[in-house]
Amino acid sequence: MSISQTFEHSYGTLGTDYLTPTAPTPVSSPKWLAWNHQLAEQLGWPQHWGHNDSTLSTLAGNAQFEGSKPGATAYAGHQFGSYNPQLGDGRAILLGEWRRPDGQVVDIQLKGAGPTPYSRGGDGRSPVGPVVREYLMSEAMHALGVPTTRALAAIATGDPVYRQQLEPGAVLTRVAKSHLRIGTVQFFAMTRQGTGLAELVNYVTERHYSLALKQARELEPKTTHAQVLLREVTRTLANLVAHWQSLGFIHGVLNTDNMLLCGETVDYGPCAFMDTFAAGQVFSSIDTGGRYAFGNQPGIVHWNISVLAQCLLPLIDEDQEKALALAQDSVDQFPALFTDIYSARLAAKFGLDAMRESDHALIESFFSQLEKDKLDFTLAFRWLTEVANDSLETTILRDLFTPSSGLLDWKTQWSNRRTQATPASCELMRKANPVVIPRNHWVAQAISLAEAGDNELMESLQARWQNPYHWQDDDEKFAAAPTGEQQVHRTYCGT
């Protein structure tokens, strides 16, 4: 990093229709909830902007970093299937872009830093609860290997926010490849009826998919930015949702404004990992129809991509019939892309060399057995892993998980299928089946304590979840499934 490195503002150069200058609103008495030293290092973040009082004040919104140009971005989106023409950063402020030592450019954003022109009557604030949840969940997802926005800092503001009751407020510093969403494209395509759309599409394609654009144009010089964007977003989101499905992650609010074009998981509102397996599992209090239930996620992402395709039509090809055919072809790739990636992930989780046609029935019956016997998703897969690795007796898993008789029967079929199991497939299983996931009941406890000013549990969880694929000393605590009383059944957006 050069000493003079500072923020860049490429998105802002598109104009105030895209990014409206907006300063954070100061708060009373900021206190650290968390500082992500490791991420700061990866970003090449300047040391004098590290864990000190001046940074605390700046990240809480009481001062500004030299070179930052805070602003709020415009976007729209389909929320639970209905179009909302005007959303935008109502409680988020972009400080600018930051160039990491490896050359990658990321957004640095404050979430909960006060009202913006897009707040629509909201206070622009966030309670401590959602900030702690996002910090813990996004960092745990990163450690699990899932593409995600990151959390650089969490700061309690010292000011109350008014929700159902008074709650302590907080600000999160979020890092993303960019915060541009399917909903951003929708804003310019649908709300603005195409005005400014080409500039956005060129910008986002060049920012995230410049290599794919170059390669596509080497093959066909007339390839448009929009064509490449649609193809690459389809690919990257198929990858993302396949990863979620393989770990039992339920996003909870898969609206088009919560789907980043860069393919990172964003918006850790009512999200949760499943404990016991159920294909129809829903945690979010507002998802009363189960639209975003676990098993629906791939279909919903496919639907969201078709919305993106519709928006891009005018830019895909001048000939609209041709544009439609190209867009349709791209969107139609999604199921096969998803299935291929998801099958490869499942093969790794089950320790299979590859997925054969005849394996589908075996896998189906595994999931039905879990659902029928209400078994823990994560521990069941880790049980298979320890069985395959012949390590059941040397880990504490046997104290944490009791296979049902149905699962033991299933194991016989699975063992027969794995007669040619290799050391490599056993190793892959250990890397595909985590010991610990950020379980809801722990997140809930960490939130209660942090609200009362105690962030010790938050720190312990953050530390434990950094290394999810290996057993550690305290795992009779951290790896265990919640007891009936500990189980959390509902999660809330916390807006």
Shortest distance, position 420 Cβ to ligand AMP, whole Å: 47
C-beta closer to ligand AMP: residue 135 or 334: 135
Site string for Mg ion, 220-259 (x = CB under 5 A): --------------------------------------x-
Q: Does 137 sit near ligand AMP (CB under 6 A)?
A: no
Question: Between residues 85 and 335, which has the closer beta carbon with respect to ligand AMP?
Answer: 85
Q: Which is nearer to ligand AMP, 258 or 491 (CB)?
A: 258
Site membership for ligand AMP, residue 88 (CB under 6 A): yes
CB 257 → Mg ion: shortest distance, Å?
5
Q: Are 167 and 127 in contact (CB under 8 A)?
A: yes
The count of chain residues that interact with Mg ion, using the rule CB under 5 A, is 2
Pairing mode, strands 105-111 and 92-99: antiparallel
Question: Are 253 and 230 a contacting pair, CB within 8 Å?
Answer: no
**Cβ closer to ligand AMP: 469 or 492?**
492
- Do 111 and 126 touch, CB atoms closer than 8 A? yes
Within 8 A by CB and 6+ apart from 90, the residues are 72, 115, 116, 118, 119, 120, 122, 124
Contact region for ligand AMP (CB under 6 A) — 27-35, 81-89, 143-151, 474-482?
81-89
Q: Distance (Å, rounded) from C-alpha 107 to C-alpha 143? A: 20
| Residues 257/356, Cβ–Cβ less than 8 Å | no
**Residue 88 contact among Mg ion, ligand AMP, none, beta carbon within 5 to 8 Å by kind:** ligand AMP
- Give residue 208's identity as a one-letter amino acid code: H
The one catalytic residue in 89, 257, 376, 475 is: 257
Among 12, 24, 30, 90, binds ligand AMP (CB under 6 A): 90
Residue 159 lies near ligand AMP (rule: CB under 6 A): no
In angstroms, the Cα distances linking 195 to 135, 241, 265, 285, 413 are: 36, 31, 28, 37, 59
For residue 380, give the 3-state DSSP assignment: helix
* One residue of 43, 89, 216, 259 binding ligand AMP per CB under 6 A: 89
Q: From the list ligand AMP, Mg ion, none, pick the one residue 7 interacts with, judged by a Cβ distance below 5 to 8 Å according to partner type.
A: none
In the complex with ligand AMP, which residue's Cβ is closer, 92 or 197?
A: 92
Rule CB under 6 A: is residue 269 a binding residue for ligand AMP?
A: yes
- String of contacts with ligand AMP for each residue 285-324, x by CB under 6 A: ----------------------------------------
Q: State which amino acid sits at residue 215.
A: Q
Question: How, if at all, do strands 82-84 and 92-99 pair?
Answer: unpaired
267 binds Mg ion (CB under 5 A): yes
User: Segment 205-264, which members bind ligand AMP (CB under 6 A)?
Assistant: 257-258
- Give CA–CA dist 478/472, Å, rounded: 9
Q: Quick one: 230 or 253, whose CB is closer to ligand AMP? A: 253
- 257 as an active site residue: the answer is yes
Exposed / middle / buried, residue 314 (Cβ in 10 Å: 0-12, 13-18, 19+): middle
Which of the stretches 262-270, 298-306, 398-406, 476-484 binds Mg ion when contact is defined by CB under 5 A? Answer: 262-270
Question: Who contacts 238 (Cβ-Cβ below 8 Å, separation ≥6)?
Answer: 301, 334, 337, 338, 341
- E strands present in 123-230: 126-127, 150-162, 166-176
Q: List 491's β-bridge partners, or say none.
A: 284
DSSP code per residue over 66-94: TT---EEE---EEETTEEES----SSEEE
Least CB distance to ligand AMP at residue 88 (A): 5
Name the residue nearer to ligand AMP (CB basis): 17 or 427. Answer: 17
Provide φ and ψ at 320, rounded to 5°. Answer: -65, -25
Task: Indicate whether 124 belongs to the interface with ligand AMP (CB under 6 A).
Answer: yes
Residue with Cβ nearer ligand AMP (283 or 342): 283
CA distance 170 to 160: 9
Distance from the Cα of residue 218 to its chain's centroid: 33
Smallest distance from the beta carbon of 183 to Mg ion, in angstroms?
8
Shortest distance, position 316 Cβ to ligand AMP, whole Å = 28
Contact by Cβ (8 Å): 300, 259: no
Query: Contact with ligand AMP (CB under 6 A): which of 134, 167, 232, 267?
Result: 267
Residue numbers at the binding site for ligand AMP (CB under 6 A): 87-91, 118-119, 122-125, 257-258, 267, 269, 493, 495
Residue numbers at the binding site for Mg ion (CB under 5 A): 258, 267
Q: Which residues are catalytic?
A: 257
